[in-house]
């Protein structure tokens, strides 16, 4: 095999150039990008934050280390211990240190709180509370994220699209919002991550089948936002968040088969009373400002004693609505809300990806539809 040694690659490059066969160089580089392994990336995930105590354990024998990396104890396999604040640090059983890292042996799993996780976990003290940070390989992290964010029985091309989006999103957050302690947490503000609980054969296939692949713009990983269902059309990012981005552009969605494409809810007016104080009995609630595709930016609430303006996001939070793509009518006592979609409506639509995959569209085509002007590339 000519690629067994690094200097063999250099020899081939020289041979091609020396013989004037430069047109082969491009093909060779593409081949190398496919066959050579992607760079391993370790991600720091805050799986528990600011808790008073934690149940910890390991599926195999585990080493306990302090902040300097010195071994200070062991955990027996499949036994439960309590981690809690002690003095100015942390104690597990009778073992104490300023911080403690649990490192399972033989590719074992670590138990934190109520779930199993891959990799190792660092416990740190923050004030009077504990925070647990899971150090896990990015690809193994995605095994869980894809299963938590999408449906494991969906077509594999939809799951592959989710894997690339989630990988890109995690790396973007790691680059732009890492706080020195952890890169991401496990909530919907970043990405849902539930350890082994949400790993499936299909999520492994989707992650392994897109190994190291990310979406980029100008050779930089993109903010690969995604959501459940847009309600028929995604949005331009500047109309929903703040600054425009060339790849988060409004596109037609294919989510009409989504169970949340259309929805209706009824609420008592009292649920938004704090938002509309001073207007008296409500007469009308109508959009004052919307995005080009109908999401509510502000609502005008008119009553018999006055009027006020309320943000669509505030109404969404107060009523726990699926999106800001809604309209409201009222009889004075109740609010009738009709809406579409689920989520912010930016980037990849998961239900749109599902439908496109069912039609035979591959994950690359899905991704470049929802992330306009972006390219599918590989971590180098």
The whole-number pLDDT of residue 38 equals 57
The pTM (predicted TM-score) of the whole model is 0.87
Domain shared by 227 and 117, yes or no: no
pLDDT tens figures, 93-138: 999 999 999 999 999 999 999 999 999 999 999 999 999 999 999 9
The total number of structural domains that make up the chain? 4
How many CA atoms does the CB half-sphere of 151 hold within 13 Å? 10
Q: State whether the Cα torsion 48-52-58-62 is positive or negative.
A: positive
Residue 25 in tokens: 């160089």
Domain shared by 213 and 149, yes or no: yes
**Residue 325 in contact with residue 295, Cβ under 8 Å?**
yes
Burial environment of residue 138 by CB neighbours within 10 A (0 to 12, 13 to 18, 19 or more): buried
Q: 363-370 vs 156-176: helix axis angle to the nearest 10?
A: 50
Domain shared by 76 and 216, yes or no: no
pLDDT tens figures, 215-235: 999 999 999 999 999 999 999
Domain shared by 197 and 312, yes or no: no
Domain shared by 289 and 316, yes or no: yes
The whole-number pLDDT of residue 242 equals 86
Domain shared by 181 and 230, yes or no: yes
Residues of the chain with pLDDT under 70: 1-39
Residue 223 in tokens: 């903010």
Domain shared by 296 and 322, yes or no: yes
Domain of 156, in residue numbers: 139-252+346-378
Domain shared by 242 and 370, yes or no: yes
Domain shared by 144 and 196, yes or no: yes
pLDDT tens figures, 179-229: 889 999 998 778 999 999 999 999 999 999 999 999 999 999 999 999 999
**Which SS3 state, helix, strand or coil, does residue 220 take?**
strand
Domain shared by 185 and 324, yes or no: no
Assess if residue 257 is contained within a domain. Answer: no
The whole-number pLDDT of residue 29 equals 42
């Amino acid at each position: 095999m000519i690629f067994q040694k690094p200097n063999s690659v250099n020899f081939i490059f020289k041979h091609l150039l020396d013989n004037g066969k430069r047109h082969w160089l491009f093909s060779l580089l593409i081949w190398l990008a496919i066959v050579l392994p992607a760079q391993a990336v370790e991600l720091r995930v805050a799986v528990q934050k600011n808790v008073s105590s934690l149940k910890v354990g390991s599926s195999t024998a585990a080493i306990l280390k302090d902040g300097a990396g010195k071994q200070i104890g062991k955990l027996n396999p499949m036994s439960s211990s309590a981690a809690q604040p002690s003095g100015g640090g942390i104690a597990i059983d009778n073992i104490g240190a300023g911080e403690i890292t649990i490192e399972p042996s033989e590719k074992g799993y670590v138990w934190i709180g109520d779930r199993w996780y891959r990799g190792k976990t660092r416990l740190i003290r923050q004030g009077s509370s504990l925070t647990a940070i899971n150090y896990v390989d990015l690809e193994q992290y995605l095994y869980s994220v894809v299963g938590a964010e999408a449906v494991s029985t969906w077509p594999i091309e939809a799951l592959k699209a989710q894997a690339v989006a989630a990988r890109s999103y995690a790396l973007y957050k790691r680059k732009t919002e890492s706080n020195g302690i952890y890169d991401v947490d496990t909530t919907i503000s970043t990405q849902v991550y539930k350890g082994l609980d949400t790993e499936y054969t299909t999520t492994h296939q989707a992650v392994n089948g897109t190994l190291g692949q990310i979406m980029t713009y100008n050779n930089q990983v993109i903010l690969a936002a995604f959501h459940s269902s847009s309600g028929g059309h995604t949005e331009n990012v500047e109309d929903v968040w703040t600054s425009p981005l060339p790849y988060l552009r409004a596109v037609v969605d294919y989510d009409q088969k989504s169970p949340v494409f259309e929805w209706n809810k009824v609420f008592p007016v009292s649920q938004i009373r704090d938002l509309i104080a001073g207007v008296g009995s409500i007469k009308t609630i109508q959009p004052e400002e919307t995005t080009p595709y109908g999401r509510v930016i502000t609502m005008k609430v008119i009553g018999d004693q006055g009027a006020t303006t309320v943000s669509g996001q505030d109404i969404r939070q107060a009523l726990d609505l699926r999106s800001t793509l809604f309209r409201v009518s009222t009889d004075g006592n109740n609010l009738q809300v009709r809406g579409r979609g689920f989520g912010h409506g930016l980037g990849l639509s998961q239900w749109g990806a599902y439908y496109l995959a069912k039609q035979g569209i591959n994950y690359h085509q899905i991704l470049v539809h929802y992330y306009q002007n972006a390219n599918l590339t590989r971590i180098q």
